[in-house]
A and B are shown apart, each in its own frame.
Chain A
Amino acid sequence: MTSGSRLPVSSTIQRRGLTALPRRDKIAVAWVLLLLGVLGWMRYTRDDATGVFPQRGLTLICPYSPGGGTDLFCRGLARAAEPLLGRGVTVNNITGGGGGVGFSAGLLARPDGHTLTAVTFELLSLPPQGLVPFAYDDFELLLRVNMDPSAVTVRADFPASTLQEFVAKAREREGKLSIGTSGPASVWHLAAARLARSAGFKARLVPYGGAAPAVTALVGGHIDAVTVGPGEVMSHVKSGQLKILAIMSEQRLEGWPTIPTTRESGVDVVFGTWRGVAVPRGVPVAVLARLRKVLGEAARSPEFISFAESTGLNLALADGDTFKAAVEAQSIEVRALMDELGVMP
């Protein structure tokens, strides 16, 4: 790396005669030209000249850090889609702003279908806070892949084994029951607020820096309950430290056939987060159709299904129109909830 670098400049000139210098320079010139050639070749092969989508590898923007749930989801889906597209799909973690930075980057990308964005529930909860310059309908929603409803979870020794008993205990303690959430205005915070409103009790909502620290605090007995996704508490429930009282979904989940839904337990709440894929508006119709088809096939492939099972992703495929309708409905609900909670500035 440092052919001429170990010698100070003065001695380079003195010690190396004039005859030695040009030779080293000649090698350097040849090397520079060679590498420039490689660079040119890389540029030339970057775009396919045929003009048929996809002309080059795709990028899937993941708005959250590597190693998290959404990142795993992106990498699993990208891997399943690659053979169907015949091109590579690179996951790019553009993080920050609770997902806002990644969503913005996804919207600013050229609308040619080569840049996809993983969209999540936060697409609905960020705009009402007035912090991000976009709304969910700036995106063309392609496919919803999964939904994770909120699971009302308590310690195994909590004196309630059903949601009704839990609600009774909460009323009895007159607002002193504490529920851990994944941060102010986060999906699990809204889930807890929604539960308290529908069931008619008051509780202290304790914000933590994510679902995992809230679960840890529950295991340690510092709070009474959490309302996070079932995947977040799976290992603690299986080992008998925690128990799930009810899950806020329409029907019982396949992975948790014995756990009742909130509606079965007499509280009318369906709430949770979801993950899907979107592109900015303006992508040609033919490209949109191809992307929908490929992503749908990828999400139904046995490889992706077994991946989802092992990572605890609750699959809930929905095509563009169904996805859009669900998002529209939830958007109104979220806005109203945030108004009520006073998290909108």
Chain B
Amino acid sequence: MKRRVSVDAIAGAIVVMLSMAVAVGAMRFPPTSGTVAGPALFPLLLAAIWGPLGLILLLKHLRVAPVGQAAAPVRPMVGLLGLSVAYAGVLPLLGFVSASALYLTIAIEFLGYRHRWRAGAVALSLAFLVFWVFRGVMAVPLPDGWIG
């Protein structure tokens, strides 16, 4: 519980800053012309609600002094997200089947499965299955890339 205190305060501060950015951005929109509401009305209104909400969150959790940050285990999640980002990067270059098979094999092994060949077999089969469903059955094209 104590760890969340500081995170909430940071979240509150982020919300306050973002809402100010939204307000500044929306001020530059063309003004409300005549009597009809213009494009800036809603963003300004929402920023005016969001900012104070963030401020409440910030102040509420500032009252309690933040106590030492317990290091939470985030490694698997960060690694997997990084792998997914890399996958999205190489997908258009390599092509769908090869990139997906590679991604699945590495990700499965990364999460602690030790049999590389079996992971590879599952990964390749799945990549082909998804490819067949999208391309063959639904006629939705997937990236071709160098390999396919």
Contact = CB atoms under 8 A, between A and B. Distances in A.
Direct A–B touching, Cβ under 8 Å: yes
Interface of A: 1-5, 9, 21, 24-25, 27-29, 31-32, 35-36, 38-39, 42-43, 46, 59, 90-92
A3 B118 contact: yes
A31 B117 CA distance: 9
A31 B119 CA distance: 11
Contact of B122 (A3, A9, A59, A91): A3
B112 interface: yes
B141 A35 contact: no
Given A4-B115, A9-B112, A39-B97, A32 B147 contact: no
18 contacts: A1-B125, A3-B118, A3-B121, A9-B112, A9-B114, A27-B121, A29-B117, A29-B121, A31-B124, A31-B125, A32-B124, A35-B124, A35-B128, A38-B128, A39-B124, A42-B148, A43-B148, A46-B144
B55 interface: no
B141 A28 contact: no
Interface in B53-104: 97-98, 101
Nearest to A44: B148
Interface of B: 97-98, 101, 112-115, 117-118, 120-122, 124-126, 128, 139, 141, 144, 147-148
A32 B121 contact: yes
Nearest to A345: B30
A241 to B, nearest CB: 29
A35 B113 CA distance: 21
Contacts, number: 59
A176 to B, nearest CB: 14
A25 B118 CA distance: 6
B98 A39 contact: yes
A92 B120 contact: no
Given A39-B97, A39-B98, A28 B120 contact: yes
B118 A24 contact: yes
Given A32-B120, A90-B139, 13 more contacts: A1-B126, A3-B121, A3-B122, A9-B112, A24-B118, A25-B118, A28-B118, A29-B117, A32-B117, A35-B101, A38-B128, A39-B147, A43-B148
Nearest to A31: B121
Contact of A39 (B114, B117, B148): B148
A2 B139 CA distance: 27
A193 B20 CA distance: 38
Contacts of A5: 113, 122
